[in-house]
Chain A
Amino acid sequence: MIFGLGRQLAKLGLLGINRRNAEFTLKYNQRRLYPLVDDKLLTKQLAQEAGIAVPELYGVIEAAYQLRELPVLLHNYADFVVKPSRGSGGEGILVISKSTKIYHRMDGALMDKVALNHYILNILSGTYSLGGHPDKAIIEYRVQFDPVFEKVSYKGVPDIRIIVFLGVPVMGMVRLPTRMSGGKANLHQGAIGTGIDIARGSTLTAVWHNKIVEDHPDTGRFITGIKIPGWSTILELASRCYLLTGLGYQGVDIVLDKDKGPLILELNARPGLNIQIANRAGLLPRLRLIERERQNLTSVERCVAFAQEHFGAEN
């Protein structure tokens, strides 16, 4: 029975983890390029140099003594985000929505200066980084979310994940936090994933815990058919990340800001495979098509046009 299942999935072009590693990440992602995406500070600086939109960097804390200058640094900002530079899976991100004499966290809790300092010290000692290596703390602009997903997310940060292969946006997914995911946009924690029609930028059916759903479980709103504003800009932004890092197979995480439009949040050299469930399509046929047409895909414009032509919902 399980082999029958395997055959059926193979027919759909499902990409499994072994093949992703052997034939895509190991083959197209050179190991020396990994630090560019594993270190978010480096990614951010690289993107800024290339003129790619990212949340503005307010400051970096690299060592404990710099905490003394923290009040001066934060003086000008009413709200901000603190996150580890090498954190994994969205861990260790602290959102301060209001700072008066005391810091107001996004989830409603209050934090005094001592608590914030301790939080940053923990980041520095590597609590949130892979392998526990010493880390840096990034302080950056808090994204003012575009209201497009407001009705279909519960608190938290809805974001758009696009898989980019050799510059071509292959598949996309919107990740919507739920009460169950605790405001986090990780599917395995209970967030909802919805596929995206690459041609038009509207959401397809949604998947929650490997099940197909139509409404958001917390807000009750219909999820399918939401049009993402500025879709072609988003595709271009994603495509440009290939030239930025040189990684052939990567996941690009994008958030939509009310005023600044789409911003690159982070890049991922080993993007997960759940996006296939959200789109209910296998990645493999699309990736093979790009491998065959590779010589024609020489510019960002061509890559985006190719994607919109071939990876629309009716294809």
Chain B
Amino acid sequence: MSRVPLTIWVLGLTTLGLGLFLYKILVLGFPLVPETMAVRWNVEGRITFSAQGQPVKVSLYIPGSSTHFKVMYENFISRGYGLNTITESENGNRLATWSINKAKGKQIFFYRGVMRRTELDKKMPTQSPPAIEPPGFKGPYLEATEALITMIREQSADVDGLVVELMKRLNAPHPDENVSLLLQNRTSIAARAEAAVKVLAQAGIPARLVRGIRLAEQDRNVPVIPWFEVYDKGMWRSYDLAAGKAGVPDNYMAWWRGTKPLGQIKGGEGLEMRIAVNLDQEAAIKRAVDYGKTVTPFLIDYSLFSLPIQAQAAFSVLLLVPIGALLVVILRNIIGVKTFGTFMPILIALAFRQTNLLWGVVLFSILVALGLGIRHYLEHLKLLLVPRLASILIIVILLMAVMSVLTHKLGLEQGLSVALFPMVIMTMTIERMTIVWEERGAREALQQGTGSLLVAALACIVMQIRYVGHLIFTFPELLLVLLAGTLLLGRYTGYRLLELPRFRALIREKK
């Protein structure tokens, strides 16, 4: 075979990939291992609304520095709008106001901030007690509140105990009648937190509602989490209503306080803000990127770090796929593991990443087993191919829905993640497995089924290694080396490990 061109390709790709890799490490000083202490996050808010051709004024709360987090840097992208930010005296919130004389159609703003965790052990300064806003309870509500306060006061020694007791009552699956009256069927955490604040106000204890986000490693659509703070002994203390205890996890960052909504708009409608968060790829990378900009601006300007956070998050997943692909090549062509569909295991592995491995394997197995059972019955109905596939697809989706509801009722929240499985792939897997089962027997079908599951699990484990993710995202040029390796494997003509035992009969006779 003409091996020359392939060798040249492999050598070229490897040299280029490794060269860039070494240049970035040795000259620009990119870190080879992910830093263990992650202290900075990028927070990006994508604000959308539609303007109606009139003057527009949009007000939105933005995060400010607190005792836990410091806003290192922030910027706003809002073409043509005037912008000013103020700090409200009431709750210390920061409010950004955008305005323009005339705008029409869909509008998009961006807010970007870099947050740094500050020293946690720093003592908070004592603050003067805030004024209590009267909750304005009347009639039966006032009576119910007073009764509730009396009850919880009897069972608690101090403010902290009182708040915990109150949370316990608000969180009870079957609240007593006083609590039911106060909540009036609004059982969301936000509504309960709001009720808690009002009850505490009635009891003469200053409290306020807080809305914030969880600073995760990587999240493209961060939910706003409510909790509340209580003023006690000269300082504000946080209480996590969802967990029913004092203190919130230290990666909770307050966004704004009080009962007002996140934003308000005049002259437009459909105001929405989607928040994305990612761990700022370590200070060391920042330094390397800044240095690289002066040395080789081209290399940095056209790197993945120049992309918006949401795109970066998407790529950090995408870049893992080639690693899974290489794994599939090795397992199939060198080991000889049989799977359904070439890359089906990778797609399953991506789903496993989200569900966590054990749950993923369990849910996948149950779903496929049920699907196979039903598909087996469909065989008797003698359906033609396309309607049959469509029926299986519908059944798969129904099964996913039923499994979600059942596991949710049983309190197994992980079961909900069954919705993350790629349903078309599941459908094809069930169909192909049935065909193999019929044509080649149960053994072959189960062999290929477990083979697929095994490859998916392995791929998932490899893709979840933090070090691998860091390397491939920081040094995407390593993909060239990966490609070179895959090309080489493409010309591997030796035996597959698992085909050897099959041919053992050849040897015995010769002996």
- Of the candidates A5, A18, A280, the one whose C-beta lies within 8 Å of that of B333 is A18
- Of the candidates A2, A12, A118, the one whose C-beta lies within 8 Å of that of B506 is A12
Among A6, A19, A207, chain B packs the most CB atoms within 10 A around the CB of A6
Tell me, rounded to whole Å, the shortest Cβ–Cβ distance linking A189 to chain B. 7
**CB-defined contacts of B494 to chain A, threshold 8 Å:** 6, 16, 18-19
Q: Are B505 and A17 in contact (CB under 8 A)?
A: no
Q: Are B504 and A5 in contact (CB under 8 A)?
A: yes
Q: Is A113 an interface residue, CB under 8 A from the partner?
A: no
Q: CA of A118 to CA of B384 in the docked complex: distance in angstroms?
A: 9
**CB-defined contacts of A12 to chain B, threshold 8 Å:** 506-507, 510
Q: Are A27 and B495 in contact (CB under 8 A)?
A: no
Q: Is B219 an interface residue, CB under 8 A from the partner?
A: no
**CB-defined contacts of B382 to chain A, threshold 8 Å:** 118, 122
Q: Are A17 and B503 in contact (CB under 8 A)?
A: no
Among B440, B493, B496, chain A packs the most CB atoms within 10 A around the CB of B493
- Describe A's contact surface by its main secondary structure: helix
Q: Is B467 an interface residue, CB under 8 A from the partner?
A: no
Interface size on A, residues (CB 8 A): 37
Among A14, A23, A282, chain B packs the most CB atoms within 10 A around the CB of A14
Q: Is B138 an interface residue, CB under 8 A from the partner?
A: no
Q: Are B497 and A2 in contact (CB under 8 A)?
A: yes
**CB-defined contacts of B380 to chain A, threshold 8 Å:** none
1/0 per residue, CB under 8 A from B, across A175-213: the answer is 000000000000011000000000000000101001110
1/0 per residue, CB under 8 A from A, across B370-407: the answer is 00000000000010111001000000000000000000
Q: Is A244 an interface residue, CB under 8 A from the partner?
A: no
- Of the candidates B1, B441, B501, B509, the one whose C-beta lies within 8 Å of that of A5 is B501
Q: Is A33 an interface residue, CB under 8 A from the partner?
A: no
Tell me, rounded to whole Å, the shortest Cβ–Cβ distance linking B76 to chain A. 53
- Of the candidates B336, B385, B493, B496, the one whose C-beta lies within 8 Å of that of A132 is B385
1/0 per residue, CB under 8 A from A, across B466-508: the answer is 0000000000000000000000000111111101111111111
Q: Are A16 and B441 in contact (CB under 8 A)?
A: no
- Of the candidates A2, A9, A27, A189, the one whose C-beta lies within 8 Å of that of B1 is A27
Q: Are A188 and B507 in contact (CB under 8 A)?
A: no
Q: Is A89 an interface residue, CB under 8 A from the partner?
A: yes
- Of the candidates B441, B492, B500, B509, the one whose C-beta lies within 8 Å of that of A280 is B509
Q: Closest residue to A20 on the B side, CB-wise? A: B493
- Of the candidates A14, A210, A276, A281, the one whose C-beta lies within 8 Å of that of B495 is A14
Q: Are B503 and A14 in contact (CB under 8 A)?
A: yes
- Of the candidates B1, B441, B502, the one whose C-beta lies within 8 Å of that of A210 is B502
Q: Are B505 and A5 in contact (CB under 8 A)?
A: no
Q: Is B158 an interface residue, CB under 8 A from the partner?
A: no
Q: Is A121 an interface residue, CB under 8 A from the partner?
A: yes
1/0 per residue, CB under 8 A from A, across B339-371: the answer is 000000000000000000000000000000000
**CB-defined contacts of A22 to chain B, threshold 8 Å:** 1, 491-493
Q: Are A210 and B505 in contact (CB under 8 A)?
A: yes
Q: Are A277 and B440 in contact (CB under 8 A)?
A: no
Q: Are A122 and B384 in contact (CB under 8 A)?
A: yes
Q: Is B272 an interface residue, CB under 8 A from the partner?
A: no
Given A8-B507, A12-B507, A210-B505, A23–B495 Cβ distance below 8 Å? Answer: no
A3-50: which have CB < 8 Å to B? 5-6, 8-10, 12, 14, 16-19, 22-23, 27
Tell me, rounded to whole Å, the shortest Cβ–Cβ distance linking B381 to chain A. 11
Q: Are B505 and A280 in contact (CB under 8 A)?
A: yes
Q: Is B439 an interface residue, CB under 8 A from the partner?
A: yes
B422-441: which have CB < 8 Å to A? 439-441
Q: Are B1 and A23 in contact (CB under 8 A)?
A: yes
1/0 per residue, CB under 8 A from B, across A260-273: the answer is 00000000000001
**CB-defined contacts of A210 to chain B, threshold 8 Å:** 502, 504-505
**CB-defined contacts of A14 to chain B, threshold 8 Å:** 495, 503, 506
1/0 per residue, CB under 8 A from A, across B168-181: the answer is 00000000000000
Q: Closest residue to A133 on the B side, CB-wise? A: B385
Tell me, rounded to whole Å, the shortest Cβ–Cβ distance linking A89 to chain B. 6
Q: CA of A207 to CA of B503 in the docked complex: distance in angstroms?
A: 11
1/0 per residue, CB under 8 A from A, across B455-473: the answer is 0000000000000000000
Q: Are A5 and B506 in contact (CB under 8 A)?
A: no
Q: CA of A212 to CA of B507 in the docked complex: distance in angstroms?
A: 12
Q: Are B491 and A16 in contact (CB under 8 A)?
A: no
**CB-defined contacts of B491 to chain A, threshold 8 Å:** 22
Tell me, rounded to whole Å, the shortest Cβ–Cβ distance linking A83 to chain B. 15
Q: CA of A282 to CA of B441 in the docked complex: distance in angstroms?
A: 28
Among A9, A19, A281, chain B packs the most CB atoms within 10 A around the CB of A9
Q: Closest residue to B336 on the A side, CB-wise? A: A17
Q: Is A125 an interface residue, CB under 8 A from the partner?
A: yes
- State the B residues within 8 Å of A (CB): 1, 333, 336, 382, 384-386, 389, 439-441, 444, 491-497, 499-510
A6-B494, A17-B499, A280-B506 known; 6 new pairs, CB 8 Å cut-off, are: A9-B500, A10-B495, A16-B494, A16-B495, A188-B440, A273-B499
Q: Write 10 A-B pairs (CB below 8 A) sorted by A numbering.
A: A16-B493, A18-B333, A18-B493, A22-B493, A23-B1, A132-B389, A207-B505, A211-B505, A273-B499, A277-B506
- State the A residues within 8 Å of B (CB): 2, 5-6, 8-10, 12, 14, 16-19, 22-23, 27, 89, 91, 118, 121-122, 125-127, 132, 188-189, 205, 207, 210-212, 273, 276-277, 280-282
